[in-house]
Structure 1
Amino acid sequence: MFVLFHNYYTRLIRFSKNVKLYLLALTLNSIGTGMFLVLYNLYLKELQYNEAFVGRTVSLKALAAVLILLPAGVFSDRLGRRKAMITGAVFSGISFAILSLLEDANIILIFIFCNGVFNSFFMVAQAPFIMENTTPKERIHLFSINSALMVGAWMLGNIIGGWIPDILTYWFTTLVAMKITLMISALIIFLGAVPLIKIREIQTHQQRNFDEIIKMLRDKKELLTLGKFILPSALVGFGAGLFVPYTNLYLANQYGMTTSLIGIVMALSQIMTAFATLFAPVLVKQVGRVKGIFIFQMSSIPFLFIMATTSNVFLAMVAVLLRTALMNAANPITSNLMMEEVGDKVKGIANSLSQMAFQLGWVVMGPISGMIIAEYGYSYVFFLAMFFYLGSALCYFIFFRHLDEEKVQSAIY
């Protein structure tokens, strides 16, 4: 364990100034996002909105991402990763601040959509930025650090977002306490733009116009490769869209947990995800990238079954923790695999399309899941998600197992 962390620390201090500034911005953005997301559904519940309305907000935000991710990828490729991430951080913070103040359903939906648009600019630039600011030997480790730091910061945000309202209720109503906490989260996200301003943009051949990108996408071989990544990403999105947005409501409604306890559970899930993510390169070195993805995704499925069937609060908490950690631990491997396998000219677009496919699942399943939960409870959505996750794991194994056989991963280490 000590050797593992020492290895990561050594690599971290050797990263470029650009990478360190990016990681600081990511930390602030993730803390603010973790605070906001652990609380916002509970805030809507406090406003007397039901699960069906929560499903509409989830679907609308995901729809915004689906519509804007490709243009955001073009923006990122043409004008640079720095400008894309600054745009995302600044306007995401502003939209979160507005959402923390408003209570009217229609206005909430409008700014949820706006937040989905602006957040996409930050998301879509991350993987290409990492590729442009690292050497091949650094990448899998930076992708892992990126994921671990993001979930670790989310963990801190979950704790803060869960505890601040409970503390503030000594002086304010629950609703006002939640509003104050949500405003603080928006400010932290906004401050995440400050380190990004200091990043020096790296000019690459990837910054090109829209017509050139269309020509690239006419390459059948390139399209086939993109499709092999897009399909499993969509399947994960359909599975996650069924239950992830409702996890805090699941814990509150099914087991009567308080906001502070929910914050702790969500934070612990991020801690476990961070540790699992840091072990991802070790697993990749032992079994290969594709088998690593397959193992992580498949091992998360039994815990969905437990979440669907248990009435024991302790088992439910353990299942939430392990499911989150194991499924998310595959993310840096899938990102690295995609960035290595697609052509240099379409990395930004590839990342956009993959994110679009994932968000499409949330668009479709968000409102459907809300209706299923309102009518039948939570069990059915977990059972359905199991099949989507199984499909994703099998897709990666079938499409890319030859890469492990060719020992492509040895080039990374």
Structure 2
Amino acid sequence: MLTEYGRDARILIGANALGQTFLWFSFFIMPFYLKALGYGMKTMGMFFSAQTIVGGLFFLLAGPISLRLGYRKTLLSSAIVGLAGRVFQVSASSWFVLLLGFILVGVNMGLRQPNYNAYLSELVPDEMRHEAFSKSFGLGTLFNSLGVLLAGFLPGYLVGAGLTEETAYRLTFSLSLLQFAFVIPALFIVRDVAVREKRIRWERNLVVKILKFSLPSAIIGLGAGITIPFMSLYFKIRFGETLSAISYVFFFQQLAMGLGSFGLPELVRKWGPVKVITSFQGAATVLFAVFPSIETFALAGAVYVARAILMNIIWPINSSFMMGSFKTEEKATANGIQQAFSTFMRGVGNSVGGTLFAISLVYPFYATAVLYAVATALFYAFFKRYN
């Protein structure tokens, strides 16, 4: 599957995929872990906002830091900081320590993704870029699905073995540390990519191009922040389902996205990236608009899985499309700014979502659907001629 790429690209994609097992694992289990520690939804919103806002700040710094350190050293530094953050979250000896953990994980988040995208785009030929990004996403998502399944069943097993709920969730969440057991060693053995230009020429065309990618991402980030972090709790509150039952929804979501992403490059070759992105996002928007009217858990789970596939499966194509639009020295900075726009607004959305869910289980979904529709229309208007 990865034999057509060079050694470093294979190592990078493989380590990222293995690490992803415990990245989505930690995302899925986090609301339940915080609830077991005694925190309410408003406090959760504050923790999520702190992480995403700090992540946004470091998205802005991701490019300048990589121009000085290189992609590999920047990724390695972010992984070490992320490991420290997870350690603080696992210990959770006080709300301040827990908050510090979220802040450090935010630093990791901000430095990692732009530099991973830029690094991978430099390790593979341009004609293989869409395919490489899709395979990286697909493999990572398949491993994500295993992590979600583990997170869904392990706490109940540990409670059944006689542990308290808090201890069971703490032990389960501690497995998130394993993400870095794969990533950090891999980053020691790959070689860096030379960036000849150590500064970016900030011309008007470059700024406009970055803003065109960033504005739709910011609006989508706001919409996602309102609903996505609370979805596992929504299923529990709305339908009264167990954690293990809810984990199946997220397991099938990740499994289907992972398998589906391998066929996406062929669709891009036929339709073009812009049509694929806007078509999928538009369909996901419709599903989110009808989601709160669904009365049964099985149907709601199926619709949520379909929505998640449509909305998320196109992100590697979006990232690849963006990376192909910038020079080597511009890639991490441009992607970092785009991710910063999205992340700042996602952080705002986390707080808004916590408040809206405290009022109603319906309003957050309508708000997200409207924002997704606006973002999709803007993206198509900006890039339809580049399809």
TM-score of Structure 1 vs Structure 2, range by shorter chain:
over 0.9
* Aligned-partner SS, 1:306: helix
Counterpart AA for 1:232: P
The whole-number CA distance in structure 2 between the counterparts of 1:332 and 1:26 is 14
The whole-number CA distance in structure 2 between the counterparts of 1:294 and 1:233 is 13
Counterpart AA for 2:130: I
* Gap regions ≥5 residues in structure 2: none
Counterpart AA for 2:57: L
The whole-number CA distance in structure 2 between the counterparts of 1:118 and 1:345 is 21
The whole-number CA distance in structure 2 between the counterparts of 1:155 and 1:199 is 27
Map of 2:334 onto structure 1: 350
1:204 shift after superposition: 2.5
Q: Which moved further from structure 2: 380-389 or 27-36?
A: 27-36
Map of 2:54 onto structure 1: 64
Q: Which moved further from structure 2: 46-55 or 292-301?
A: 46-55
Map of 2:165 onto structure 1: 174
Map of 1:386 onto structure 2: 369
* Aligned-partner SS, 1:192: helix
1:282 shift after superposition: 1.8
CA-to-aligned-CA distance 1:55-104 (integer Å, 9 cap, x gap) = 11111111101111121221123211111221222221221122122152
1:275 shift after superposition: 2.7
* Aligned-partner SS, 1:341: coil
The whole-number CA distance in structure 2 between the counterparts of 1:166 and 1:264 is 14
Equivalent of 1:359 in 343, 360, 370: 343
The whole-number CA distance in structure 2 between the counterparts of 1:387 and 1:162 is 31
Counterpart AA for 1:338: M
* Aligned-partner SS, 2:191: coil
Equivalent of 1:233 in 217, 231, 255: 217
* Residues 155 and 165, structure 2, Cα contact 8 Å, conserved in 1: yes
1:289 matched to 2:278: no
The whole-number CA distance in structure 2 between the counterparts of 1:327 and 1:238 is 14
* Residues 220 and 375, structure 2, Cα contact 8 Å, conserved in 1: yes
1:33 matched to 2:23: yes
* Residues 61 and 111, structure 2, Cα contact 8 Å, conserved in 1: no
Map of 1:315 onto structure 2: 299
* Residues 84 and 101, structure 2, Cα contact 8 Å, conserved in 1: no
1:118 shift after superposition: 2.0
Map of 2:357 onto structure 1: 373
CA-to-aligned-CA distance 1:147-167 (integer Å, 9 cap, x gap) = 112221211111111122122
Q: TM-score, normalised by structure 2?
A: 0.96
Q: TM-score, normalised by structure 1?
A: 0.90
Identity of aligned residues (%): 24
Equivalent of 1:93 in 67, 83, 89: 83
1:184 matched to 2:175: yes
* Residues 33 and 189, structure 1, Cα contact 8 Å, conserved in 2: no
Counterpart AA for 2:21: I
1:23 matched to 2:6: no
Map of 1:329 onto structure 2: 313
1:327 shift after superposition: 0.4
CA-to-aligned-CA distance 1:270-289 (integer Å, 9 cap, x gap) = 11212332222122111111
* Residues 85 and 101, structure 2, Cα contact 8 Å, conserved in 1: yes
The whole-number CA distance in structure 1 between the counterparts of 2:259 and 2:345 is 27
* Aligned-partner SS, 1:373: helix
Aligned CA distance change for structure 1 residues 160 and 126 (closer, same or farther; 3 Å): same
1:39 shift after superposition: 0.9
Map of 1:6 onto structure 2: none
Map of 1:77 onto structure 2: 67
* Residues 100 and 183, structure 1, Cα contact 8 Å, conserved in 2: yes
1:399 matched to 2:370: no
1:246 matched to 2:237: no
The whole-number CA distance in structure 2 between the counterparts of 1:190 and 1:88 is 14
The whole-number CA distance in structure 1 between the counterparts of 2:193 and 2:329 is 15
Q: Which moved further from structure 2: 334-343 or 381-390?
A: 334-343
Counterpart AA for 2:374: G
1:24 shift after superposition: 2.1
* Residues 205 and 345, structure 1, Cα contact 8 Å, conserved in 2: yes
Map of 2:186 onto structure 1: 195
Number of residue equivalences:
386
* Residues 135 and 262, structure 2, Cα contact 8 Å, conserved in 1: yes
* Aligned-partner SS, 2:324: helix
The whole-number CA distance in structure 2 between the counterparts of 1:160 and 1:81 is 32
Counterpart AA for 2:9: V
Counterpart AA for 1:220: R
* Residues 85 and 125, structure 1, Cα contact 8 Å, conserved in 2: yes
1:156 matched to 2:126: no
* Residues 27 and 149, structure 1, Cα contact 8 Å, conserved in 2: yes
The whole-number CA distance in structure 1 between the counterparts of 2:331 and 2:278 is 23
* Residues 308 and 382, structure 1, Cα contact 8 Å, conserved in 2: yes
1:46 matched to 2:36: yes
